[in-house]
Amino acid sequence: MHTVSVVIPVYRGYDTLAGLVAEMEPLFDGAETAEGHRFEIHEVLLVHDCGPDRSPEVMRRLAEKYDRVRPVWLSRNFGQHAATLAGMASSGGDWIVTLDEDGQHDPAAIPRFLDVAMREQAALVYARPTNAAPHGALRNAASRSAKWVFEHLLRGGDLSRFQSYRLVLGEVGRSVAAYAGAGVFLDVAIGWVNDRTAVCDVELRAEGGRPSGYSTRSLLSHFWRMVLSSGTRGLRLVSMTGAMFAVLGVLLSAYVVVGRLTGGTQQPGWTSVMVVVLMASGLVLFSLGVVAEYVGVAVNMAMGRPPFLITADLAAGPLGRPPASRRS
């Protein structure tokens, strides 16, 4: 019997969590995949990422209703990847399934994930959507472009498979949660220790009418964290760009010298000088900014900044105690 821990980061799940957990209930007491593998959902870990709605109320009700549901409380909002890592660290199943709270990931696909993992002996299985994600054309195009940049310019390999709906071997997921530092992109961290990856075709559903927890700023931050986590390829690109500008400067100087020696007309002008100065200074400042970001990541890790902090339910602790006049 394979045991599966389901990890769900919760930010705005007030309207969708109950229905999502109800869909998993038939798998709590065991089931069999199409290829004959017995499994059960051993636990459902709802990781509260301190969102703006009343998700804690639903989480407490679900924990009372289902003995397989276990809330995990974070001290503040750390983001989806950190919340997922916290859930992985708290899990105990043979396998870990991570999925979103909004209902677009169908839990009925979990048996197919397990079949793919066993058939291909893969420690990590990503969902491969058979339809466009329900985010709108602009966001989907931006996501594809970001993955193309990451795949072709920063690391190489097929990174288009990165999805938040995934099945990962339990010991791999828990190990990654133990060593991943603050700001590390989850899928990149898993890739550091695992090269046995497969995909499973899954149809994405609508998001249940809830607003997205990602703003344009947070999506850009998400992409930038992926770039910084990929290694030093970004620094190499900065060095290559600097070298290209240096070569361009030498060629431009040679052109000016040859023009002077051959008596060609050279019209000095402040416009061209200012263009070159602005381009060069802009490149220098951009390069310094990239280097500073890498230094910042290293400093956070050296200072021991945690990627997440698990606490008790605030409502069950000192902060949730009512005044004595209200207890009676």
pLDDT of residue 21: 96
- For the chain, give the mean pLDDT: 80
pLDDT of 236 > 90? The answer is no
The pLDDT value recorded for residue 212 is 55
Which residues form the domain of 111?
2-213
**Which of these, 6, 7, 8, 1, lies nearest to 29 by C-alpha position?**
1
- Least confident span in 102-111, 247-256, 312-321: 247-256
**Model pLDDT for residues 33-81, shown as the tens digit of each residue:** 999 999 999 999 999 999 989 999 999 999 999 999 999 999 999 888 8
Do 52 and 153 sit in the same domain of this protein?
Answer: yes
Structural domain includes residue 138: yes
**Confidence (pLDDT) at 213:** 56
303: which DSSP letter?
T
Q: What percent of the chain has pLDDT over 70?
A: 63
Give mean pLDDT, residues 182-203: 84
Total tally of structural domains belonging to the chain: 2
The type of residue at 191 is G
- Give 259-282 pLDDT, tens digit per residue: 767 766 555 665 566 666 767 776
58 with 173, same domain: the answer is: yes
Q: Which residue has the higher pLDDT, 140 or 178?
A: 178
Q: Do 111 and 43 fall into the same domain?
A: yes
Is 312 contained in some domain? no
| CA atoms within 13 A of residue 158's CA, in its CB half-sphere | 9
Bridge partners, 7 (sequence order):
45, 98
Does residue 95 or residue 149 have the better pLDDT?
Answer: 95
Query: From the CB of residue 37, how many other CB atoms can be counted at a distance below 10 Å?
Result: 16
